[in-house]
C-alpha cells in the first residue's frame, strides 16, 4: 500500500500548515517511557523515514525519557526542514519508570521550555503544550507564564493536554489555545464532547493512543470486518476513521519500528465509505 499524506488534508498551527497524520515520539524511549530505547539506531531511522515520507508534525515531550525523545529528535533531524513542526510539552516530572507527577509552577515551566529549546536545538518551539493542568497552581499563573514565553518569541503557539470543555474555555479566557491533545480512539471516546467543541471553535484536536485495541479490533470485530472489506489492517482503519471523524483531528500514531511506521502512514490511502464510518462510530459508542 502506498503512502499519500497529502490526501489526509492539512491543518494550520500558528504559521505552519501540516498534514493531518503526524508522528508521536513517546515510543522512542525505554519501558515505562523511561530511559533510552532498546535500539537507538532504529529510533533515529524511524524519525528520518517519517520525514522522508512527508510527516511534518512530530509530537514529543520533555518527560518522555525524560528528555530522551527530544534528544533523539535532534540527533535524527537537526538541522530541521522549514516545513517541520515539532510540538513538545512541559508540566510533568518523572521520579521513575511509569511515574508521572504534575508540576505547573511558572518557574518550572519556564525552565523546562528553556531546556527543551536547548535539547531540540530550536530558537522557538512552534507548539508548546501544557502536559497537564496542575490543580495546585492557579491556571492563570501556568498559562500566564507560557503566554510570556510566547510574547518573548520562545513559543509560537500554546496547546493543552487532557482537558475538559470547561477547562479549555477557562484557559481560552487567559490565552489563545490552538490545540488540545486528549486520549481518543475507537475504543476510547470519552473526549467526544471536547472534540466536538474543538471542531466548533476551529481548534486542532490531537488524539493520542489513536489505534483501537481490545475487543473492537480482534478477528470478527467491526474493525476487522471493515479492514477486510477495504484491504487494510485494523490499525490503518482506526486511523482512517479518525481522519474521517473531523477535519480538526490530527492523529499522531507512534512506534519504534520503521515497518510499523510505514503501516501506520499507509492509513492515508484508506478510503472509508460513509456507511463504514457510521458502522465504526456506532460500534465505538
**Residue 134 phi, psi (nearest 5):** -85, 115
Neighbour tally for 154: CB within 10 Å: 19
Cell readout for 190 is: 470519552
Whether the upstream peptide bond of residue 251 has omega within 30° of 0, thus cis, is no
Structural domain total, the chain: 1
Residue 160 maps to which CATH number? Answer: 3.20.20.100
Predicted pLDDT of residue 206: 98
- Predicted pLDDT of residue 1: 59
40-52 and 258-265 helices cross at what angle (nearest 10)?
A: 30
Assigned domain for 116 exists? yes
Answer positive or negative: Cα dihedral of 228, 232, 233, 234. negative
pLDDT score recorded for residue 283: 86
Residue 30 lies in a domain: yes
In the numeric block, which cell numbers belong to residue 181?
491533545
The answer to whether residue 280 is domain-embedded is: no
How does pLDDT run across 164-216, given as a tens digit for each residue? 999 999 999 999 999 999 999 999 989 999 999 999 999 999 999 999 777 77
**Which structural domain, as residue segments, surrounds residue 15?**
5-210+247-256+264-270
How much is the mean pLDDT over the chain? Answer: 96
Catalytic residues, which ones? Answer: 64
pTM: 0.97
Residue ranges in the chain whose pLDDT is less than 50? none
Question: Does some domain include residue 138?
Answer: yes
The reply to whether 22 falls in a domain is yes
Q: For residue 277, tell me if it sits in a domain.
A: no
Amino acid at each position: 500500500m502506498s503512502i499519500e499524506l497529502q490526501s489526509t488534508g492539512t491543518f494550520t498551527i500558528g504559521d505552519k500548515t501540516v498534514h493531518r497524520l503526524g508522528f508521536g515520539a513517546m515510543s522512542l524511549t525505554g519501558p515505562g517511557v523511561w530511559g533510552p530505547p532498546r535500539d537507538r539506531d532504529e529510533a533515529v531511522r524511524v524519525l528520518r523515514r517519517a520525514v522522508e515520507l512527508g510527516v511534518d508534525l512530530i509530537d514529543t515531550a520533555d518527560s518522555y525519557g525524560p528528555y530522551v525523545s527530544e534528544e533523539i529528535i535532534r540527533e535524527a533531524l537537526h538541522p530541521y526542514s522549514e516545513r517541520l513542526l515539532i510540538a513538545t510539552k512541559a508540566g510533568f516530572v518523572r521520579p521513575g519508570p511509569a511515574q508521572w507527577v504534575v508540576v505547573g509552577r511558572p518557574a518550572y515551566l519556564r525552565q523546562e521550555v528553556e531546556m527543551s529549546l536547548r535539547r531540540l536545538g530550536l530558537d522557538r518551539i512552534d507548539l508548546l503544550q501544557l502536559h497537564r493542568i496542575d490543580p495546585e497552581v492557579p491556571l492563570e499563573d501556568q498559562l500566564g507564564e507560557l503566554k510570556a514565553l510566547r510574547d518573548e518569541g520562545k513559543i509560537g503557539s500554546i496547546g493543552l493536554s487532557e482537558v475538559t470543555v470547561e477547562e479549555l474555555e477557562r484557559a481560552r479566557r487567559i490565552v489563545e489555545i490552538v490545540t488540545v491533545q486528549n486520549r481518543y480512539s475507537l475504543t476510547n471516546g470519552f473526549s467526544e464532547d471536547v472534540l466536538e467543541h474543538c471542531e466548533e471553535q476551529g481548534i486542532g484536536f490531537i488524539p493520542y493512543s489513536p489505534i483501537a485495541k481490545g475487543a473492537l479490533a480482534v478477528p470478527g470485530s467491526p474493525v476487522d470486518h471493515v479492514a477486510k472489506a477495504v484491504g487494510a489492517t485494523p490499525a490503518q482503519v482506526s486511523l482512517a476513521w479518525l481522519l474521517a471523524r473531523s477535519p480538526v483531528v490530527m492523529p499522531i500514531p507512534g512506534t519504534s519500528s520503521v515497518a510499523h511506521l510505514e503501516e501506520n502512514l499507509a492509513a492515508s490511502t484508506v478510503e472509508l465509505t460513509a456507511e463504514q464510518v457510521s458502522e465504526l462510530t456506532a460500534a465505538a459508542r
